[in-house]
Chain A
Amino acid sequence: NAGVTQTPKFRVLKTGQSMTLLCAQDMNHEYMYWYRQDPGMGLRLIHYSVGEGTTAKGEVPDGYNVSRLKKQNFLLGLESAAPSQTSVYFCASSNRADSTEAFFGQGTRLTVV
């Protein structure tokens, strides 16, 4: 009964460091999404994927890269972290055929100092 799992839950990075956030879903969903949430800005779409091996840019893609080598995993990478990337990151997934709900992970709180 895992659903969507994000790893890690918390992280502190120094400016210039790199890291990868992992999103894993066990529901065989085609669609996966990465968002960032900042106060007063709602959830902004960073990148998304409509199937294994595909990725597309969202609203705020700069400074991030993604990969979807396996259907169940969607990785978000920060190559050189900046303080402006301090945020809460959410991953979500949904089924293409029955797409009446998107399921969310619990979020990752990232601080870049």
Chain B
Amino acid sequence: AQKITQTQPGMFVQEKEAVTLDCTYDTSDQSYGLFWYKQPSSGEMIFLIYQGSYDEQNATEGRYSLNFQKARKSANLVISASQLGDSAMYFCAMREMPAVYNQGGKLIFGQGTELSVKP
């Protein structure tokens, strides 16, 4: 069965420093996708970055990068040069990538990490 684990309920980082949010996953599928979302205090879910299981290079989107270690089944989010606006909940997620139409597609989330950026 699929499982996503985020072991850091809360994290603090100093403004302008880098921070790594941990995510490990478990799946028996060979093909899957990994996602990170940000949820500010206003409540909306904001997509940050995506990594496919067959992507050889780590995904990057601006100040966000995904440290993908397939053998260790980890997909950590790295935020460089933290800003006060980065204070939020961060969720890691995984989805099966079905080879057959109308199969798979389940998208599950971890428990989240609350990041606080200190000025």
Chain A contacts to B: CB under 8 angstroms: 30-31, 33, 35, 40-45, 48, 50-51, 54, 56, 58-59, 88, 90, 92, 94, 96, 99-104, 106-107
Contact = CB atoms under 8 A, between A and B. Distances in A.
B12 interface: no
A101 B108 contact: no
The prevalent SS among residues of B at the interface is loop
Contact of B107 (A33, A54, A100): A33
B44 A50 contact: no
Given A41-B111, A43-B109, A56-B106, A50 B45 contact: no
Contacts of A43: 91, 93, 109
Interface stretch (B65-73, B74-82, B95-103): B95-103
A102 B92 CA distance: 12
B106 A99 contact: no
A30 B102 CA distance: 9
B35 A31 contact: no
A94 B50 CA distance: 13
A104 B108 CA distance: 14
10 contacts: A41-B111, A42-B110, A42-B111, A43-B91, A48-B105, A50-B104, A59-B108, A99-B33, A99-B95, A102-B107
Residue among A43, A94, A106 with max Cβ neighbours from chain B (10 Å): A43
A100 B93 CA distance: 12
Contacts, number: 68
Nearest to A58: B106
Given A43-B91, A99-B97, A50 B108 contact: no
Interface of B: 6, 9, 33, 35, 37, 43-45, 47, 50, 52, 91, 93, 95, 97-98, 101-112
Contacts of A106: 43-44
Contact of B43 (A35, A59, A94, A107): A107
* Residue of A31, A42, A44, A102 with most partner-chain B CB within 10 A: A42
B105 A100 contact: no
Contacts of A42: 6, 91, 109-112
Residue among A45, A54, A100, A106 with the most chain B CB within 10 A? Answer: A100
